[in-house]
């Protein structure tokens, strides 16, 4: 059965963080949709405009994983959207995977999804996440996968590849070949 993913975008998103996930998952045969929060036209933080495949709806409950890219404007929009909050809370209660990187863990913290779980985020954002989710456990790792909470988190733009691979691995996919094919292993060994 084909795995499914949704990457949720709003204006001000870090394009590299979201589009890297879409690219990697699609290369791996995952049906990955770009989902818009406020509309189908998305205006990235670095003047990259693109279109959503879908808009947020209860259909987000059907995906194997739902991922948020960062960008502070994007993260604030995600954090403040009551419809998205209710969907993501329901996903976690059903044991479904959620992911966020960079500033976007503030949305997960606001939703109550980080309580009692390990996570990471962009340096400095942990101050806000710790206020919103004082029982969460901040880690300074590139990516953090919390199996109990069904959460994948990551730090920032340079960790987008690691984040995408952690998401694929959370879905039970083997990332060995794609890491070799994209020269990720080479980069990791030579940086």
147, 149, 152: which is closest to 135 by C-alpha?
149
CA dihedral (86, 97, 94, 120) in degrees, to 10, reads: -70
- Both tokens assigned to 174: 């083997």
Neighbours of 180 (CB within 10 A): 11
Q: Is 110 exposed, middle or buried (0-12, 13-18, 19+ CB in 10 A)?
A: buried
Q: What residue has token string 């870090």?
A: 14
Active site residue 102: yes
Count Cα neighbours of 68 within 13 Å in the Cβ-side half-sphere. 34
The Cα–Cα gap between 24 and 146 comes to: 21
- Active-site position among 32, 98, 102, 110: 102
The Cα–Cα gap between 42 and 37 comes to: 9
The Cα–Cα gap between 180 and 136 comes to: 34
User: Which residues are part of the catalytic machinery?
Assistant: 102
């Amino acid at each position: 059965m084909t795995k499914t993913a949704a990457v949720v975008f709003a204006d001000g998103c870090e394009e590299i963080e979201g589009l890297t996930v879409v690219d990697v998952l699609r290369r791996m045969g995952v049906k990955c949709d770009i989902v818009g929060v406020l509309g189908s036209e998305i205006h990235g933080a670095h003047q990259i405009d693109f279109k959503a495949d879908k808009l947020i709806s209860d259909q987000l409950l059907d995906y194997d994983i739902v991922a948020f890219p960062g960008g502070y404007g994007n993260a604030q929009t995600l954090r403040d959207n009551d419809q998205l909050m209710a969907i993501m809370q329901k996903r976690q209660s059903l044991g479904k995977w959620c992911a966020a990187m960079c500033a976007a863990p503030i949305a997960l913290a606001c939703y109550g999804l980080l309580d009692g779980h390990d996570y990471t985020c962009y340096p400095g954002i942990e101050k806000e996440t710790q206020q919103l989710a004082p029982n969460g456990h901040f880690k300074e790792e590139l990516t953090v996968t919390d199996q109990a909470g069904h959460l994948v988190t990551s730090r920032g733009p340079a960790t987008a590849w690691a984040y995408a691979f952690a998401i694929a691995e959370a879905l039970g996919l083997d990332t060995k070949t794609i890491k070799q094919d994209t020269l990720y292993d080479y980069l990791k060994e030579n940086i």
